[in-house]
Amino acid sequence: MDKIKTISRFTVLKNRSSVLENPLPFHRECFEKYGDTFRINLGKNSTWNFTRDPKAIQHILQKNQKNYHKSDLQTKDLGKYIGQGLLTSNGEIWRVHRRMIQPTFHKRKLEGLMRIMHQAIRRELQELAPGKAQDVFPVMGDLAFQVVAQSLFSADDIRSRMMRLKEITMNIQEMLVKELRMPYLSWWFQFNGEVKKHLSESEEAREILNKIVNERVASEADKDDLLDMLLGARYEDNTPMPRRQLLDEVMVLFTAGHETTANALSFTLLLLAMHTEVQEKVFQEVETIDFASENIMDELGKLKFTKQCIEETLRLYPPLFILDRIGLETDTINGIEFKKGTVWLMSFYELHRHSNFWQQPDVFMPERFDLKRKKDFSDWYFPFGAGPRMCIGNNFAMYEMVLTIAEILKKYKLQPASKKIEINPLLTLKPKTAFLNLIPR
């Protein structure tokens, strides 16, 4: 017998205004009222199962992951804008390209990018304005985007093109959020030309990227950056990726890579500003670090507590706050049978704050991620997803965040301009603003 509570379409429509602005309070209310898994019925055979049950999530993402694909929310709705890259593909297409691209993000490959990454971070941090309250979120957005751009292209003459690319990716995301949260208006978005406009922008983004790739190929330069690695990737028959596929993969790197990092960095800075003792402990750790040394990786390895602060931030404010999957065949989870085609929405935000699994779940406590204790949380901590489809750029992102936090804390004390962190859940979990006072040390 199905023990899962179902929420009616009427209830969803009744809450549509608040859900459109921020669905997380509605999710929390439903989880608290109906348990760790509940179902939303939208009518016309459209139902979504929401879960924060770690056993269900492990089953879907790890133990029986072959039975679950990404749903149309990503493969079609997002895919129509950014193409069929790792983020938006399924099945054999995904497996082949994951196998091709995975070596690009191996730790040993990333070591060669550390100098490029560090230079880009230092250049972007010049935009910080000490001595007055400043919203650091857009600065972190520009920083993360330029780090991806420099790591991909290692060129100094592409900033204006990259800023246009960033504008396009943000426009696309805002459009997609409207489509996902108001599916009943899909006909209107088609009729009024909004979808067509954003599809045109996505093609403009590809043209920008294609021109940069053509310039690289024509130069015959060996930059040893991410673009060189992607151009050098080969299928089993030793043929390279078609240009359209390569551009789709680059679009994914920009869309997924910069935004999640910018969000996490902004939340980390806000939390450090609000917890002065933790901030001081990070400063003591980074104070003597020398990133100008020959081996940046060795220096990064010393910043264990700094990394713990980021890991704790990713628990409280996971950029990937909800993840979707669809069942390919009927499956049984926790003793309940679910039919083929069941759509799952897994809430990492709720799981990471679940009182059954975390002591003081809403409190910022980086100490909980001490190496001796981290294994205690491995079954219910998924900051980068889990299973074979775990984020391919997780090491890249962590290196970038540790470098950035270290560079900022070496120069500034952080003071909060507000006592409250306000969130903005779009495709990823963002802060509404991140106003801070930066006091030179």
pLDDT, tens digit (0-9, with 9 covering 90-100), for 236-281? 889 999 999 999 989 888 877 788 999 999 999 999 999 999 999 9
For 350, the token pair is 């709720």
The percent of residues above 90 in pLDDT, for the chain, comes to 58
Reported pTM: 0.91
Determine how many CB atoms are found less than 10 A away from the CB of residue 355.
9
Q: Give the residue among 144, 151, 297 at the shortest CA–CA distance from 225.
A: 151
Mean pLDDT for all residues in the chain: 90
Q: Could you report the per-residue pLDDT of 428-438, keeping only the tens digit for each?
A: 999 999 999 99
From 40-49, 107-116, 274-283, 395-404, the region with the lowest mean pLDDT:
40-49
| pLDDT of res. 158 | 81
Could you give the CA distance from residue 114 to residue 390 in angstroms, rounded to a whole number?
A: 22
| pLDDT of res. 2 | 58
Rg, Å, the chain Cα set? 22
Instruction: Give me the helix-helix angle, 91-101 and 243-274, nearest 10°.
Output: 70
| pLDDT of res. 44 | 66
Q: Is 224 left (phi over 0), alpha (psi -120 to 50) or beta?
A: left
Do the Cβ atoms of 357 and 351 come closer than 8 Å?
yes
Listed in sequence order, the residues at least 6 apart from 197 whose beta carbon sits closer than 8 Å to its beta carbon are none
Rounded average pLDDT over 187-193: 90
pLDDT band at 1, cuts 50/70/90?
very low
Determine how many CB atoms are found less than 10 A away from the CB of residue 353.
17
Torsion of CA 178, 174, 177, 226, to 10 degrees: 150
Q: Is the pLDDT of residue 379 over 70?
A: yes
Q: Which 8-state DSSP code applies to residue 368?
A: G
Could you give the CA distance from residue 408 to residue 406 in angstroms, rounded to a whole number?
A: 6
Determine how many CB atoms are found less than 10 A away from the CB of residue 123.
15
Reported as half-sphere exposure (CB side, CA atoms, 13 A), residue 84 has a value of 16
In this structure, are strands 68-69 and 37-41 parallel, antiparallel, or unpaired?
A: unpaired
More confident residue, 107 or 167: 167
Rounded average pLDDT over 222-244: 89
Sign for the pseudo-dihedral over CA of 270, 274, 278, 282: positive
